């Protein structure tokens, strides 16, 4: 019985890893295409004017947030991502062994994939790409890029300015000002993290509840 359970958990873990690496592949493929085909700041409409590809890079966290303006802050953030990814693989394996359901494992896989996707940018993009500015970036031999290890910039491109208008003057404090919703520019890795975290938050009771048979066996132990 224990062998069957172990095999089932191993299959679960392989499926979660498949999700992780599939998301990473899509994330990196889009980033590579945008990085090598868009000038910095270039923008193209995908669906009307409310979904655009707008190429920018950032040295901070998801959605362009920063830990610090200094290089030290960038290094700390990259090291934090690295530790989080290593721990993420361990924690995902543990979730499989404990018998968590598909929903929890998918959410965990999305969060891990997002963290890993942005970690790749931070670790290696400075070593393998030329700078993006008034010319298209190029893939170069390892170590000949625009930066150094742990100091790569994260590529962002997904932009959803669903509402782009001037606020009525009668609105307190912000009246008459230009307003955009949703303004942050992000990438697929950021989206994966957000979907995983928000789903956990809204459905945590259901997702984090172990199957009754596992709870009974743990109680007997």
Is 164 catalytic? The answer is no
> Helices then strands (H, E): number in the chain?
7, 6
Measured CA to CA in angstroms, residue 68 lies from 60, 90, 139, 152, 176 at distances of 8, 29, 28, 15, 32
For residue 57, give the 3-state DSSP assignment. strand
Residue among 27, 121, 156, 164 flagged as catalytic? 156
Read off the pTM.
Answer: 0.85
The pLDDT confidence band at residue 1, using thresholds 50, 70 and 90, is low
Residue among 27, 121, 164, 190 flagged as catalytic? 190
pLDDT of 60 reads 63
Determine the average pLDDT of the residues in 49-60.
Answer: 89
State yes or no: cis peptide before 134, omega within 30 of 0. Answer: no
The pLDDT confidence band at residue 191, using thresholds 50, 70 and 90, is very high
Is 27 catalytic? The answer is no
The pLDDT confidence band at residue 205, using thresholds 50, 70 and 90, is confident
pLDDT of 217 reads 45
The closest alpha carbon to 137, from 123, 150, 125, 122, belongs to 125
């Amino acid at each position: 019985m224990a062998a069957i359970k172990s095999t089932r958990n191993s299959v679960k873990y392989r499926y979660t890893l498949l999700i992780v690496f599939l998301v990473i592949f899509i994330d990196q493929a889009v980033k590579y295409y945008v990085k090598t085909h868009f000038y910095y700041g270039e923008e193209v409409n995908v669906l009307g004017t409310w979904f655009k590809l707008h190429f920018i890079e950032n040295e901070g966290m998801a959605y362009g947030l920063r830990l610090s303006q200094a290089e030290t802050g960038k290094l700390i953030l990259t090291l934090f991502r690295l530790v989080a990814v290593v721990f993420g693989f361990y924690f995902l394996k543990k979730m499989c062994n404990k018998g968590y359901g598909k929903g929890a494992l998918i959410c965990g896989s999305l969060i891990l994939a997002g963290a890993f996707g942005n970690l790749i940018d931070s670790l290696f993009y400075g070593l393998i790409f030329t700078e993006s500015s008034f010319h298209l970036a190029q893939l170069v031999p390892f170590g000949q890029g625009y930066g150094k290890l742990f100091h790569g910039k994260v590529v962002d491109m997904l932009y959803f300015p669903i509402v782009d208008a001037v606020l009525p003057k009668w609105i307190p404090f912000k009246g008459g000002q230009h307003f955009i919703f949703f303004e942050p520019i992000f990438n697929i890795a950021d989206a994966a993290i957000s979907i995983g975290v928000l789903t956990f938050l809204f459905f945590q009771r259901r997702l984090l509840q172990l199957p009754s048979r596992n709870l009974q066996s743990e109680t007997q132990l």
